[in-house]
Structures are given as structure tokens and as C-alpha cells.
Amino acid sequence: MENVSSLFERFNDWIKESIVVKLLSIGFLILILMIPSSWVESLISERQMRADDVIEEVSGKWAASQTLTGPVLMIPYKQIEKLDEWSNGVKYTRLVETTHRAYFLPEELNVNGSIKPEVLHRGIFDVAVYDSKVSIKSTFTTPNFAKWNIPDEQVFWGDAELLLGIKDLQGIHENPTIISAGQSLMSESSANLGFNLQNEENATGIIVPFDWKSREDVLKDVNIDLALKGSERLYFVPVGKSTSVSLAGDWASPSFDGKMLPTTREISENNFKATWKVLSFNRPIAEQWMDADQPLSGNDFGVRFLIPADQYQKSMRTAKYDALIIILAFVALFLVEITRKVRIHPFQYILVGVALIVYYTLLLSISEHVGYNAAYAIASAATVLLLALYSITFLRVRSLVVLFSSVMALFYVFIFVIIQAEDYSLLIGSVGLFLITAVVMYFSRNIKWYKEENINH
């Protein structure tokens, strides 16, 4: 029994003193802590989705993001085809009349827009909306049906219409003003323009019917004044053979994106002004076509008024480094434990790991109120302070507590630099990890990983 007891004590001592067992236990704890780490990332995604839902909800009540397509001139016409039929061995020729639609894009399109953005609040979330005044001046040439060998007698000039695609008709809060040749024209809304103007199944917009008698009545210039509300962005499709768009508004940080970037832009502290110049050579759109769908979408451009809500993206990027922070913290404690002969219980490792995970929920919750940078400073300082106070209970020596706290603060500064310098994050991260590895190698150089036995020769 004494031998068994002795063996048990020796085994117990080996468990306590073995570096391999300590490393295995630390590795196991890190794997266990990865489970709540994944929950943190799910929480960040959930909050991001909640913010998107709020934006969608507010936009639905105000008006969605807007894209203006057109104007496009539509003129129906008829085709007469001869069909040969046989009856009782006798050949008959029958005339079949079918109705089609022809579409014509303007020769010149000039758009001037004045935009007044504002911020609506829903709880802790903000949504950018706007009210705009848009003036559209379009110039058309006389439709050329001769290109398709269609005589004027087969063209229904009296059924011609001007089509203007508007993504969300809810945004129209004043009657559009349409003027051509000094005359005011009536317009009506449509839930289906009858053509795929916006690459949607049912393109919405307004229709301006004409009552032309012949080719001579075709109006060349059409001016449209539109009061339009929307959310987040205002885009245009360059349908003119020569398209010019000028936008101005009181927003300090607009984002110009889409297929084309502005040719000129001016951004001051409180407002912006931008102009686009697009030629027919810059977009793959035919000037006129018949019936078949003409894809006008994919060429749009404009301005976005998104409020920078990068706390979710940055919090998610920060959470990607949770495993690295936990590993580095545990390695630091392990080196202190081995080199300074300090005993740290696995439960104390767990509490340190839990504090490092709770840090991310703290960062997320605070960032929703004060922004990412301030939240990062607050959460990092609070976590480092918590770890410093807790480490006093097992490190005991003040110099070790200061060293451990400084190392943790350095880790958080390192991660913050990586997050901010997005273009150089890989370079900074690689160099930083290389230096950290070198430091770990240096401080572990004198550790006796195996017990040395004295061999007498």
C-alpha cells in the first residue's frame, strides 16, 4: 500500500510539475473558450442585421433608395406580314397585322439636382434620408422608323409616351411638372411601365402620354421637374447619347459610387457638389430598339448618404483576433509561471479568458452609442484594469502585475493599429507576430523543457 501511495504521490507531483501537462491543459482551455468566442461573432452579426432591418423599416415609411431611369420615348407601331396558307391544294396569302413598341433614347440629357439630406433616429440607430429637387432636360431627335423599313402610316403617333423610371413612387410628394414647347403636359404613375427599364420584373415610374398626329408634331425638348424623397442613395442611368448630371447638397461625407465616378467634385465641411459627364461610348446601350428587353441597369451612378456605421464591421474584424489575444495572454502567463515559479490554477486561466471574451460584447455595446474608436479605448482600458487587479491575487509581485498589464495593453494597441490601417493590416500583422514570436523565443530560451540527468562517466 505504501508503494501504491508513493506512486500516486509521485504521479500527482508529476502532473503538477510537468510542463507538457500544463501546455496541454492550456491548449484545452483555449479550445473551450473558442465556443463563447463564436457566440460573440454571432451577436455582432445579429446586431448588424438589426441595424439593417431598422434602415429598411424607416426607408419603407419614408421612401427607398431612388434610381432614375430615363426619360425614354416609346412609340407603338404595326407590322403587316404576309403568311402563305394552303387549302385543298390552293395557296392563299393572308395579311397578319401585329402591334409592337419602339423605344428611343434622348440625344442629350441634362440633370440638375439639389439634395437636402437629414438623419432620422429609431432607437440607437440612425438612418440617412433626403428630399430632393431634380430638373431633367432631355432633347430627342425625330424617331427614325425608316431604319426598320416601317412607313409613317404604320406608326401610332397618337399613342406615343414618355417613360421615366422611378424606383419608389412613394418618394414623389409633389405633382411632377412636365413642359415641352411651352406647354404643360399631364403625367400619370404606373406600377408597370411595360418595359424592363430598371432590370426589374415590373419597373415603376411615370408616363407622359402624347397626342401627336404625325411626325411633324414630335416634341424635341421635354423638361421634367421632380420633387423626390428617398433613403441612402440617389442614382441615375445615363440614357442620353450625351448625359450630364450635376448634384449638390448639404452633406459633409458623401460617397460617390456606381458605374461612373464624378468628373469634378467639391466637398467642404458642410456640403458637396459633383458633376458627371457620360457619352454613349461609355455605356453599352443602343440608341433605339424594338420590343426586345434592353438592359439599362448596371450603368447607374450617383451619391450615397450612408451614415458611417462601421462599428459592426470593425467589431467583427476585431473579434476575429479573439483567439490570438487569448493565446498571447495565456502564453504570457505561462512564461511568467515557468520562469518565476508562480503557480497559476487552470480556473484562473479560465477567468482571464472569460474577461478577454466579455471584452468584445463590451466593445460592441459601447460602440453603438459612442462609436468604435472611443468604445475600443474604453473597453480595452477596462479589461486591462480588470486583469491587472485580478492578477494581483496570483502574481503577487507588483513588477509582474505591471509587466502583465503592460503586455495586455500592448496587445490591444497592436490589434487597434491593424484594424485602423486596413490597407496595411496584413503587413503590420505579419511583422507584429514575427516580433512577438521573437520575444517569446527570447524569454523562453532558458526554460528546461526536459529534466536533465547527470551522467557520470
Average pLDDT over residues 73-83: 84
The string of pLDDT tens digits covering residues 153-162 is 888 888 888 9
Answer whether residue 17 shows pLDDT above 60.
no
Average pLDDT over residues 53-68: 82
Answer whether residue 9 shows pLDDT above 80.
no
Average pLDDT over residues 415-443: 81
Q: What's the Cα-to-Cα distance from 248 to each of 69, 127, 133, 264, 272, rounded to whole Å? A: 19, 20, 10, 12, 6
Dihedral, CA of residue 358, residue 363, residue 365 and residue 366, to nearest 10:
130
Would you give the DSSP letter of residue 321? T
pLDDT at 319: 82
Tell me the pLDDT band of 203, cut-offs 50, 70 and 90: confident
Winning range, highest mean pLDDT, from 121-125, 316-320, 379-383: 379-383
Residue 145 to residue 149: CA distance in whole angstroms: 7
Residue 96 to residue 81: CA distance in whole angstroms: 5
Average pLDDT over residues 79-94: 71
Q: What percent of the chain has pLDDT over 70?
A: 86
Q: Identify the structural domains of the chain with CATH numbers, from first to last.
A: 16-51+311-443 (no CATH), 64-84+93-304 (2.60.40)
Answer whether residue 93 shows pLDDT above 50.
yes
Q: Which three cell numbers stand for residue 49?
A: 442585421
pLDDT at 123: 72
Answer whether residue 450 shows pLDDT above 70.
no
- What would the DSSP string read from start to end of 90-103? EEEEEEEEEEEEEE
Please list, in sequence order, all residues whose beta carbon lies within 8 angstroms of the beta carbon of residue 63, skipping any fewer than 6 positions away.
Answer: 129, 168, 170, 171, 228, 229, 230, 231
Average pLDDT over residues 400-404: 88
- 410 CB-side CA count, 13 A: 13
3-state helix, strand, coil in the chain (%, to 5): 45, 30, 25
Look up the pTM and report it: 0.71
Structure-model confidence comparison of residues 1 and 311, the more confident one: 311
Average pLDDT over residues 72-81: 87
Residue 378 to residue 363: CA distance in whole angstroms: 8
Tell me the pLDDT band of 199, cut-offs 50, 70 and 90: low
Average pLDDT over residues 405-423: 85
Average pLDDT over residues 336-343: 78
pLDDT at 210: 86
The string of pLDDT tens digits covering residues 101-149 is 888 899 999 999 999 998 887 777 778 889 999 999 999 988 888 888 8
The string of pLDDT tens digits covering residues 221-267 is 899 999 999 988 899 999 899 999 999 998 888 888 888 889 999 98
Q: Could you tell me if 66 and 237 are in contact, meaning their C-beta atoms sit under 8 angstroms apart?
A: no
The string of pLDDT tens digits covering residues 341-372 is 778 888 888 888 888 888 888 988 888 888 88
- What would the DSSP string read from start to end of 253-294? S-EEEES---SEEEE-SS-EEEEEEEEGGGS---SEEESS--
Sequence letter at residue 143: P
Q: What's the Cα-to-Cα distance from 300 to each of 35, 274, 297, 380, rounded to whole Å? A: 44, 15, 6, 43
Q: Which three cell numbers stand for residue 81?
A: 406580314
Answer whether residue 4 shows pLDDT above 60.
no
Residue 228 to residue 302: CA distance in whole angstroms: 15
Residue 299 to residue 243: CA distance in whole angstroms: 12
pLDDT at 457: 44
Answer whether residue 323 shows pLDDT above 60.
yes
Residue 52 to residue 124: CA distance in whole angstroms: 12
Is the sign of the CA dihedral 413, 417, 419, 420 positive or negative? positive
Q: Which three cell numbers stand for residue 424?
A: 496595411
Closest C-alpha among 211, 278, 287 to residue 246: 278
Across the chain, mean pLDDT equals 81
